[in-house]
């Protein structure tokens, strides 16, 4: 994906989705932020970057190579027990894909339910009834 202006319409749509998930702090309130917005959920803060993609669906490996710069910028944000980093992608057909950005991998979030980490193993698993998340190194 080529660099260019911020995807304003995609960010507006993402903001609507984010407001359904929790409280949102727009990046205008945080000087020099390299994220589209900050999402506050109960006991958890998520830094979100929004991009448009030309593909209908991409896997974590393809996402890692195509949005390398965005992922590196998100990885500058410290990942703690109360913070998260996500990359949200909007396709030309209006479908969304969500990826959690960890220090060593991307985890695709299927639907609006975030994967749960197994205690001590660091392995993402989906809640009962959900499909397994796609994982990339």
Is pLDDT above 70 for 129?
Answer: no
Give the pLDDT score at 27.
65
Give the pLDDT mean for 26-52. Answer: 81
In a domain, 2, yes or no: no
Own/partner contacts of 92-97, CB < 8 Å, gap of 24 or more, are 92/52, 92/54, 93/56, 95/56, 95/57, 96/14, 96/17, 97/53, 97/57, 97/58, 97/63
Question: What CATH number should be reported for the domain holding residue 122?
Answer: 3.40.1350.10
Would you place residue 111 in the very low, low, confident or very high pLDDT band (cuts 50, 70, 90)? low
Give the pLDDT score at 76.
86
- Distance of alpha carbon 127 from its chain centroid, rounded? 18
In a domain, 129, yes or no: yes
In a domain, 27, yes or no: yes
In a domain, 1, yes or no: no
Is pLDDT above 70 for 84?
Answer: yes
- Rounded to two decimals, the pTM is 0.64
Is pLDDT above 50 for 45?
Answer: yes
In a domain, 59, yes or no: yes
Strands 124-125 and 116-117: antiparallel
Q: Which residues form the domain of 120?
A: 8-136
Rg (alpha carbons) of the chain, rounded to whole number: 14
d(CA 118, CA 76): 24
Is pLDDT above 60 for 38?
Answer: yes
In a domain, 3, yes or no: no
Is pLDDT above 70 for 62?
Answer: yes
Q: How many structural domains comprise the chain?
A: 1
């Amino acid at each position: 994906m080529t660099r260019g202006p911020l995807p304003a319409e995609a960010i507006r749509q993402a903001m609507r989705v984010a407001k359904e998930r929790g409280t949102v702090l727009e990046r205008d309130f945080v000087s020099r932020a390299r994220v589209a917005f900050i999402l506050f959920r109960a006991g958890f803060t998520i830094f979100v970057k929004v991009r448009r993609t030309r593909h209908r669906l991409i896997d974590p490996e393809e996402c890692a190579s195509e949005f390398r710069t965005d992922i590196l910028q998100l990885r500058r944000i410290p990942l703690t027990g109360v913070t998260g980093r996500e990359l949200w992608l909007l396709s030309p057909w209006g479908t969304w894909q969500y990826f959690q950005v960890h220090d060593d991998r991307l985890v695709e979030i299927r639907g609006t339910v975030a994967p749960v980490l197994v205690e001590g193993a660091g392995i993402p698993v989906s809640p009962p009834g959900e499909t397994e998340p796609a994982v990339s190194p």
